[in-house]
Each structure stands twice: as C-alpha cells, then as structure tokens.
Structure 1
C-alpha cells in the first residue's frame, strides 16, 4: 500500500491511499488542479482513481468534490448523514446520478483489493467518520476532526502501519488568539478538534514496534505551526507512559500547501 497526504490543514484536506491496483482519495477539500498536482507527484492522475471516501461535509473536506466527481464520474462513499448534509448545502452543484454510495460505521466494505473500515468520530458534523484501510497485511488509518478520543477510537487505530492523526491547535495559542469566544469553545469541545497535546497522548496509545510512519495533520493556520505541533507531539511520546522515544518512529507533519512524501507500507 501507498499513503500520501496531498494537502492537510484547516484550509483543505486530501489524502491518497492505494495499492498497485486500487487508488482512492480520502476527502477532497482542495481544487482539482491541486489534487492533480499531488497525484502527479506519485505518478498518478485523476483518471487512475477508483473512488473518493468522505469523512464529513465541512467545506475543507469537500469543496473540490463536485468538480472532480463530474469530471471523472467517480463513486463517492459517505455515511447517510454526510450525503444528506452535502446535498442540502447545495455547494457541490449537479452531480451524476447514482454517484453516492452509502456506508455505515463499523461495517467494512471493499473497493477491489482494499478493505475499508469506517468508524464514528466525535465532531460537530452530521455523521462523521474516520477510516482504517487494509490491503493484505498492511493497514493505514485516518483520524482527523475529533474533539476527543476514547477506547473505541483507540481500538480502531490499533496495529497500523501508518497513521495520519490530527494535531490541530496549540491550546495556549487558541486561547489568546483572535477567534471569537464561541469558536474557541467549539474547537476545544468534545466535538471539536484534537490539540497537539492530546494528539501526542493518543499516539502513545497506538505506537508499536512495526509502525512505519506517522503524519500529523489538519493543523490550524491561525492556532498552530508545524514546528510546534511536531515538538509537542514528540515530547508527549518521549515523556509519556510508553516504552518508546519519538526518535524511534518516522513522525512528520503533513503539509498544508503541497504533497508530503509518499510512504509505502
């Protein structure tokens, strides 16, 4: 399997997961041009795609979906609540008939040789999910836009080869920043976003000897920056209640404006 963050941040998200025969995107909250450039960087084009997995209906995850779905006629996989919310928003324009494929939390489905496991996440959206994707003995996970984590989240992210995990904000930057009070409370709430500290604490629960790559994603443009997210998460890992140090793993920040290095697992 190959895994690549094409773009990750509060302004737009798009992730590639694939095998030799199957190529999927998770979300497309960026322009078609930017998506194509990201795919080109790993020797693919939009014509190679087999479908798009959507986590939830917020614009930073779907704003390029209408254009790409029309251009390539790709199947779009999402929960019933997410599909309804996307259609009600009217932001996608007219889409090809039958393009949506309804999925359910905790019910695995297959796209060619990929097994896709959606799991519920706590976020202020209609019916949001994260994804665990498996191919043979390899597995990767996507967990962004979650206000908190619990044993259910931990269970769904166990024994992964690679993970893209939200490290959205620095709590102090958010608290003293220019966001209005209601928005700060939303981000800090149980259906908001994971802080750098909580990302590190969750990661401590997920590390194992064979984890090959960790991407820190969905960073806030206003309330975080790459070096701070990286250092905070690494500190939580090194000082946390686990047998590892951060240098034992390949931890990197998924970039906002360009594709990260692809990882093969």
Structure 2
C-alpha cells in the first residue's frame, strides 16, 4: 500500500492512498489540473482512480470535485449529510446522482481490493468522517479536521502502518495573530482543528512497533510552519508517557503547494 499527499493545508487538500491495483483519492480540494499534475508525479493519472473519499463539505476539501468526478466518472463516497451539502454547492456544478455512494461512519465498505473504514470526527461540518484503509495486515489512515480526540478516535487509529495526522496550528501564533476573535475560538474549539501540541499528544497514544511513518498535515498557512509543527510534535513525544522516541519512526510534514514523498509499505 502507498500514501502520498498531493497537497495538504488550509488552502486545499488531496491525498492519494492505494495499492498496486486499487487507487483512491481522499478529498479533491484543488483544481483538476493540479490533481492530475500531482498524480502524474507518482506515475498515476486521475483516470486511474477507483473512488474519491470525501471527508466533509468545506471548500478546501471539495473545490475540484465537480470537475474531476464528471470528467472521469469517478464514484464519490461520502456520508448522507456530506452528499447533501455537495449537491447544494453551486460552485461545483451538477454532479450526476449515479456517481454518489452513500456511506456511514463505523460501517466498512470495499473498493476493489481495499477495505475502507470511515469514522466520525469532531469538526464544524454536517457529518464529517476520517478514513482508515486496509489491505490484508496493512493499514493507512488519514485524520484531519478534528478539533479534539477521545478513546473512540484512538481506537480507530491504533495498529496502523502509516498515519497522516493533522497538526494545524501553533496555539500561540493563532492567539496573537490577525484572525478575528470568533475565528480563533472556532479553530481552538472542540469542532475546530488539532494544534501541534494535541497532535503530538494523540500520537503518543498511537505509537507501536507497527507504525512506520507519520505525516503531519493540514497546516495553517497563517498560524503554523513546517519546522514548528515538526519540532513541537517531536517534543511532545519525547516528553510523553511512552517508551517510544521520535527517532523510532519517520515523521515528515505534508507540503501545502507540492507533492510529498510517496510512502510505500
């Protein structure tokens, strides 16, 4: 199985997860041209995709969905509430009904040789989910846009081989930054985004001998930067109640404007 971030950040998200025979895209929040160019860099084309898994309806996750799904006839997997919001988003244009596949949190489904497990996350969207994707004993998860985590979140992210996890903001940068008060409260709230610190603390609960690689994603352009997210998460692990050290596995940061390294397991 493979994971690659085509782009990840507050201005657009598109993640590739797949195997040799089955290819999935998680979110399509950038233009169709950027998606195609990104996939080309890892030897794939948009037309190769067997499905698009949508986490929620915010524009940085669905901005390119209409063009891509219509052009290539790719099935769209999303919860009932998310599908309703997608259909009402005039900027996407009309998407044929037959392309939609309604899913439910905590109900696994199959896309060719990959098993997909959606699970609920806490975010200010209608019916958001994150995804865990497995083939045999190998599992990859993509979990962003979650304002908090709990035991349910941890249970869904245990025993992974690869995890792309949100590290959205530095709390101090956000608090002293230029965002209006209501937006700061939204981001810091239980239905907002994970800070670097919370991302590191969640990782401490997930570390195992099986976990080989962690990718930090969905960084805020205004309230974070790559080195800070990386060092803060490493520090939380070093200080955390875990026997693992930051050097025991790979930690990288997904790029906002370029394709990240392909991770293969």
Which residue number corresponds to residue 121 of structure 1?
A: 121
The aligned runs of 1:28-177 (5 Å cut-off) are 28-177=28-177
| Aligned twin of 2:18 | 18
Taking the TM superposition and a 5 Å limit, the aligned residue runs for 1:233-244 are 233-244=233-244
Shift of the alpha carbon at 1:91? 2.1
Q: Deviations over 1:53-88 (max 9, x none)?
A: 000000000000001011101000000000011112
1:26-71, CA deviations, whole angstroms, 9 ceiling, x for partnerless residues? 0010111111111111100011110100000000000000010111
What do the CA deviations read for 1:194-217 (whole angstroms, capped 9, x no partner)?
Answer: 000000000000011121110000
Provide structure 1 residue ranges, at least 5 long, that are not aligned to the other structure. none
SS of equivalent residue, structure 2 residue 233: helix
Cα RMSD (Å): 0.6
Equivalent-residue separation in structure 2 for 1:227 and 1:153 (angstroms) = 26
Aligned partners of 1:94, 1:81: CA distance in 2, in Å? 17
The answer to whether the 8 Å contact 2:144/2:218 transfers is yes
**Residue-pair matches, total:** 265
Q: C-alpha offsets along residues 175-229 of structure 1, whole Å, 9 cap, x if unaligned?
A: 0000000000000000000000000000000011121110000000000000000
CA shift for structure 1 position 89: 2.3
Structure 2: gaps spanning 5 or more residues: none
Residue pair 2:87, 2:94 contacting (<8 A) in 1 also: no
**Aligned residue in 2 for 1:263:** 263
Q: What is the TM-score when the length of structure 1 is the normalising length?
A: 0.99
Name the SS of the counterpart of 1:192 in structure 2: coil
Shift of 1:130: 0.3
Q: Distance in 1 between matches of 2:40 and 2:212?
A: 24
Question: 4+ residue stretches of structure 1 with deviation over 3 A?
Answer: none
Q: Can you list the C-alpha shifts for 1:139-158, whole angstroms capped at 9, x where unaligned?
A: 00011000000000000000
TM-score by length of 2: 0.99
